[in-house]
Amino acid sequence: MDSTLTNAPTKLRRSFLLVLTVYLLAGMHYFQHNQGGSGLELPINLVAWVFISTLIGLGLWQISLNRKVYFPPALIAVSVMTLCLWIPMLYPNNQFASLALPRLLALSAGVLMLLAFFQFRFERRHINIICYLILVAVIIEAAYGFSQRYFFEIGNWMGFNTTGYRRPYAIFQQPNPASSFFLFGPLISAYLICTNSKLKNWQLALITISSAAAGWMVMQNASRTSTIAYAISLVLMAPWLYQRARKAYLQTWLVACLLGVLVPYLAAILISGEAIEVAKSVSIRETIYFTCLLMIAAKPLLGWGYGGFDSHYHHQQLLYNQQGIINDFQPNMAHPHNELFLWGVEGGLLPVIAIVGFSLYLTKVMFSRGWKRGSFYFGLLFPILFHCMTEYPFYHAAVLWLLFLFVVFLVLHDTQALKSQNVLYDFALRCFAILIPILTSAFMLTGLKTVDLIVKYERNPEASVVLLEQIVNPFPMLTKVEYNSMTYRLRAGLVLGLDDELEAYVEWSKEKIANFPRPELYHNLSLAYQQLGQIQLSDNIRQQGRELFPKSSLLQAELPQSSATSSSSDTSQSQGIGLSEGKPTLSTASSS
């Protein structure tokens, strides 16, 4: 590190650590009922961005105080990669580009978050504090998981499904993102025993408990992705662990890891073998990946357009099935379960080259201090990177994005010296430091209210549409808000014979299907056309839906001869709209 950077800021650094502490010990464990999905449809992500934006604001404020920005050379490479990922927004094939804005903004926020970590010139003791906070967070989430696995009963406060094999997902709502989070327990513990020659009893206790609990939860989740990643990470980290860690600490850590893995695994075998059965479930990813490769090969230069994966994948999937190239249909594919394929399909070669180029650069940086240390750092990052190649964890849990950035910070902190650059526009920085957290928090907190109103509306068959009118900020759940609102208008048109409402639904649905094809939308559009007396259009749109979604029982069933005979909203809901009982819902996430 640059010896001139010894007078580290203390006041804002304490504030930064305090905000991070509140988030890791309380904020990230916040639970609110929701209707599932990904991204900002999940309350845990809305809360996460309140804290992340605050941390970014503190980092920008510190830059303004220093009138100097500190950064490692790798941050320039990150910025170049990010710029390259923004460039396809300028391509001419971007009909749905606005749909890609959330992930581009999250990526850019990640760069700012990484920059913020470096502005406070953390010493080893400060880094240790953050690491132990992560271990406590892992233990808290493990407590959620143990409760779900062993103690929750029907009607529990989280709505956790207690029937069949219980895969505890803690606060994350899906087992795989939960498992990726749990793996930060043993991995951060390994980092701590390698970088600290002496540990207090409470520190060793946190390392032991978090490592054992994390392994236990991963095995109970039967997550193939995390189990494979865990094993590979242990192998990658072994050389430097053996060289650097005190033998007593290493033995304690290894025993904790082994107990966490073996005890639940053996118990599952002895009791029923359920965990093994779940872990051996058939994967559908091979066909998805092959289809994506065909799509990239078809349009390698510019891709299919940002935001257009959902629509283009379904139509190309149909084409490749008709040509006999593939023999499978996967519905609701909003994401290819591989981050590199998503950027490649939508943006062409430039995003792929940028991501691969930065990955190679970061690998070079990691191994610049020797192969053992480089292998260790690679082991720290491997589980979440591997998960990104098999699913989309950052969309399901923003905390994984934050922890990934922290681990990247650890690697760069240990391997690269900081550079500095004078900053002239300190007033502008202070404005952004204030506006970013204020505007982000307002958006996210009103988003929490939107989630609450959607839950009340969709889960209560008697709930009034007035709930939808109370929504102030529909954007975190725009598709669900629009779908519920327009389906209400469709139902009104069917029951009361209001052609204006039916025509409004038709216009909205045609536009929505173009970028968001779903069986429910094809079914409802066909129904609206039938009610308007446009039978040929009704048959055509239904046939299109059947071709795209041949496994959909909703589309395979025939429409009632005349939905106009329905005399009540209940009748139109069950016979006309034909969705599930209660308020109709719509899948907005990929199938898995």
200-233: pLDDT as tens digits: 999 999 999 999 999 999 998 888 899 999 999 9
What is the pLDDT, as a whole number, of residue 583?
Answer: 57
Consecutive H or E run containing 128:
helix 124-146
The tokens 């409470």 sit on which residue?
Answer: 202
Mean pLDDT of the chain: 91
What is the pLDDT, as a whole number, of residue 446?
Answer: 98
Residue 502 located in a structural domain: yes
Residue 529 located in a structural domain: yes
Convert the pLDDT of each residue in 266-295 to its tens digit.
Answer: 776 666 555 545 444 446 788 999 999 999
Q: How confident is the model at residue 581 (pLDDT cuts 50, 70, 90)?
A: very low
What is the pLDDT, as a whole number, of residue 268?
Answer: 67
What is the pLDDT, as a whole number, of residue 69?
Answer: 96
Convert the pLDDT of each residue in 380-400 to its tens digit.
Answer: 999 999 999 999 999 999 999
What is the pLDDT, as a whole number, of residue 164?
Answer: 74
SS (H, E, C) 399-467: HHHHHHHHHHHHHHHHHCCCEEEECCCHHHHHHHHHHHHHHHHHHHHHHHHHHHHHHHHHHCCCCCCHH
Neighbours of 205 (CB within 10 A): 13
For the chain, what is the domain count? 1
Query: How many Cα atoms occupy the beta-carbon half-sphere of 457 within 13 Å?
Result: 24
Using the predicted structure, report yes or no on whether residue 568 has a pLDDT greater than 80. Answer: no
Convert the pLDDT of each residue in 286-332 to its tens digit.
Answer: 899 999 999 999 999 999 999 999 999 999 999 999 999 999 899 99
- Chain CA centroid to CA 461, Å: 30
Residue 524 located in a structural domain: yes
* CB-based contact 181:400 (threshold 8 Å): yes
Query: CB within 8 A of 542, min separation 6: which ones?
Result: 522, 523, 526, 555, 559
Residue 516 located in a structural domain: yes
Question: What residues make up the domain containing 519?
Answer: 474-577
Using the predicted structure, report yes or no on whether residue 550 has a pLDDT greater than 50. Answer: yes
Percent helix, strand and coil across the chain, each to the nearest 5: 70, 0, 25
Using the predicted structure, report yes or no on whether residue 564 has a pLDDT greater than 50. Answer: no
What is the pLDDT, as a whole number, of residue 365?
Answer: 97
The tokens 């990239």 sit on which residue?
Answer: 296
Residue 543 located in a structural domain: yes
Model-wide pTM > 0.85: yes
Residue 1 located in a structural domain: no
What is the pLDDT, as a whole number, of residue 9?
Answer: 65
What is the pLDDT, as a whole number, of residue 591?
Answer: 52
In this prediction, residues 5-12 reach a mean pLDDT of 63
Could you give phi then psi for residue 397, rounded to 5 degrees?
-150, 105
The tokens 């040929």 sit on which residue?
Answer: 536
Could you give phi then psi for residue 421, rounded to 5 degrees?
-145, 130
Convert the pLDDT of each residue in 63-109 to its tens digit.
Answer: 999 999 999 999 999 999 999 999 999 999 999 999 999 999 999 99
* CB-based contact 330:283 (threshold 8 Å): no
Using the predicted structure, report yes or no on whether residue 584 has a pLDDT greater than 90. Answer: no
Residue 34 located in a structural domain: no
Residue 567 located in a structural domain: yes
Could you give phi then psi for residue 69, rounded to 5 degrees?
-110, 135
In three-state secondary structure terms, 177 is helix
Consecutive H or E run containing 68:
strand 68-71
SS (H, E, C) 481-525: HHHHHHHHHHHHHHHHCCHHHHHHHHHHHHHHHHHCCCHHHHHHH
- Chain CA centroid to CA 166, Å: 22
What is the pLDDT, as a whole number, of residue 561?
Answer: 65
In this prediction, residues 556-564 reach a mean pLDDT of 68
